Every structure is written in C-alpha cells, then in structure tokens.
Amino acid sequence: MPAETVLQRFLRYVVIDTQSKEDSESYPSTAKQLDLLKFLAKELKDLGVPQVAMDEYGYVMATIPSNVNKPVPVVGLIAHVDTSPEVTGANVKPQVINEYKGGDIVLPGDPSIVIKESENPSLKLALGKAIVTTDGTTLLGADDKAGVAAVMTAVQELMINPKIPHGEVKIGFTPDEEVGAGTKFFDIKKFGAQFAYTVDGDTPGELNKETFSANSCLITVEGRDIHPGTAKNVMVNSVRVISEIISRLPKDISPETTDGYEPYIHPCVLEGGVGKSSVKILFRDFKTEGLDKLKEIVDKVVPEVQAMFPKAKIDVKVTEQYRNMREGVEKDTRVADYLLEGAKRAGLEAEWKPIRGGTDGSRLTEMGLPTPNIFTGGANFHGRMEWVNVWGMQKAVETVLNTLQIWVEKSK
C-alpha cells in the first residue's frame, strides 16, 4: 500500500456514515459503525501490522511489535469511529480549503450556515493552511475520524520507517463513544497496554488529563390524558409539569453560561405528551463530589413542582456515566509528562486544558488504564459548522510518534 497523507485518510473515512444512536438495544448501537471498523482492520493488515483482530462487539485491536532491544512499557493508541447522534453523518460532502485566508466561511450546501471567525479563535492557527469543512448539510465527523486518521497515519509511519524507535504499541478503535458506551465491553487485559492515549481532542497543542465527572439524570412525569373538552379537574398535563421543572433549574449553572472548571446542569433531551413526558439532564463537575450538589438542586425543585401538581407522578433516576481521569493519570506521571514533551518536540506551545466533556480515556483510566487525550485539530464538534485544521492532524501524528520515542528514551 503506498504511503498516504493524514488528509487522504481523513477524507476517505468521513464519507462512511458511522452515526451512533442513543438508547439502542444493540452493540454497537448502529450496525453501520462496523463498516468503518472492518475497513480499518483491513487497512491495518494491508499496512503489514502482524496482529489485527476485530471482536464480536466491533472493537478493532492490533499490535505493533517493539523494535528496540530493551524493555519499554506497552503503550496504546485509541480513537473512536462513531459520530454524534445530534446531526446526520450520512452523505457527508467535505470541502477542502487549501489556504485559509481568514474571515467567515459560508458553507456551500446551506449558505445560512456560517463558520464565524469571531466564534472560532483556533482559526488563527489555520491561516495559510488547509482546513476541511462540511458543505453545511451534515456534520463533518472530525470527532473522531480526525483522530482515527492520525492514529492510522502514525501506524503507517511506524511500519514503513524502522528507524523510529518504539516499544510494543497497541492500537484500538472503538464504537459508541458518543453515546457513552465506547468502553462498555472493552477488555483492558486483552488490549494489553500499560498506558494509553486517546486521540480525540480539538485545538492543536491542547492536551487533556482532566475531564468532567459525569452523571445523567432522567426525570419522568406521568400525568393523565383526557379529551381537552372534558378535562377540567381531571387532566394532568405532564408537559406542564416537566416545563415547570426545567424552568426552575438555575440558568447560571448551564453550558451556555459557564466555562473552565465551572460545573453545569444541562437539560438536553425532552420527550413526551400530555400523558407522559421525560427530560434527560446532564450533571457535570470536575469535582466528583460536586455531582451530589447538582442533584441536590434537582431534589429541591421536584418537591416544589410536585406540590403544584399533586396528581402527577414524578420519578427521578440518576445514572453514573464517567469520572475525572486526573486522579488515575497522576498515579504515574510519566504518561502525561512524556505526552507534553512529545507535543513540544512537534513545535507546539503545548498546554494542559481541562475537557468540558469526556472521552473513552475517562472510563479507561477509571478501569485502570491511564489514558490522557491528544488534540486532533478539529473544532465545532457535533454540528454542521464542524471543521478541522489539516496541519493540526499532522501535528497530532508527530506528537504520537515523538511520545512513543520518548517512552523508549526514558526506559532503562
């Protein structure tokens, strides 16, 4: 197989629809994710990777043997193939702007969709460089196909250039990260890495060893539906009940009013009718104990609304999602220290930035595999204004290769 650029790989991957689905009873949540996973398994074999396997859950795992004569910790590289359920990932039509000259970008498929320079500070890093956008009718899929492309390009470099020293390297591609199930059946023991990195971030140079801790809260309201013409003193409109609950949540603790380390409560999915309604609410805080404080806010609101609608039945269910990876990463600082040095060697002003979200690395770290996160160069994930800096993807490849070499240098 001839050597390919990270851009060539990325453009090939994004046209494969891999959108995952909330509340699916299957795993992966959509069968179409397997299309790309099977494709990646074949590409790994075509690159000459000697150990490649895809299991019954769709996980693709591969092993690149060490090429040095000393013990080096086994390091894993991980990226997810699925795209967000929020916006369609079918019929993606990427456009490449070879030399971004600054200014707003009007997307050709829907001119009402504009990537605004004022809302995208990382566009400054793309001046004079190639960027890829959607046509405005779909998301792009840079989250996380930019990461997939970076990992595959790094694998290509390792396979064709034996002068790059590295220990044993494990490769992992996962489904369903966007619906919180990317590691549901991930077998850490079978994967075999002692440390790992997800390639699933955004701005070039930004590295992540802290994520939110996360819980989800599902509030279900059962009312009573009856013809509105005879509804007096009989109907219990669950829509009104759920609306009262949402309206009483604090507006200064929401995604649109917070940043940095600030926590939030986020009602994100609303469904129902007169007889039954539900709202899914996200609790996010970098301090795990802070999640209990967010729940206390809901626990105060619900009785107030229950008193207003005594005939309604209100149920609250909280589910644990993932936890801040920082504590697990800091148990052995090498995994973060070497990554930071690897990014600096790529010529970047590298820095640690907390993720106001989560990655597969959050759960993997909690499960015992320390897994900080590497940038991809992408931005505006989960929406039609998504774009990626090709230079950023290339720097992600360089950072991965540098970091693997540093593990060799630092090992005795």
Burial class (CB in 10 A: 0-12, 13-18, 19+), 62: buried
Neighbours of 190 (CB within 10 A): 11
User: Which sign, positive or negative, has the C-alpha torsion 191, 75, 53, 35?
Assistant: positive
Give the pair of three-digit tokens for residue 323: 């936890």
Neighbours of 25 (CB within 10 A): 6
- Among 43, 168, 176, 177, the one annotated catalytic: 177
- Among 17, 43, 82, 202, the one annotated catalytic: 82
> What 8-state DSSP symbol labels residue 91?
T
Using CA atoms, how far apart are residues 388 and 141, in angstroms rounded to an integer? 9
Q: Is 82 a catalytic residue?
A: yes
Cis check: omega of the bond before 28, within 30 degrees of 0: yes
Q: How far from chain centre, in Å, is Cα 112?
A: 27
Q: Is 104 a catalytic residue?
A: no
Give the pair of three-digit tokens for residue 162: 């034996």
Phi, psi of 403 (to 5 degrees): -65, -40
Q: Which of 302, 297, 300, 309 is nearest to 238 (CA)?
A: 309
**Could you list the active site residues?**
82, 177
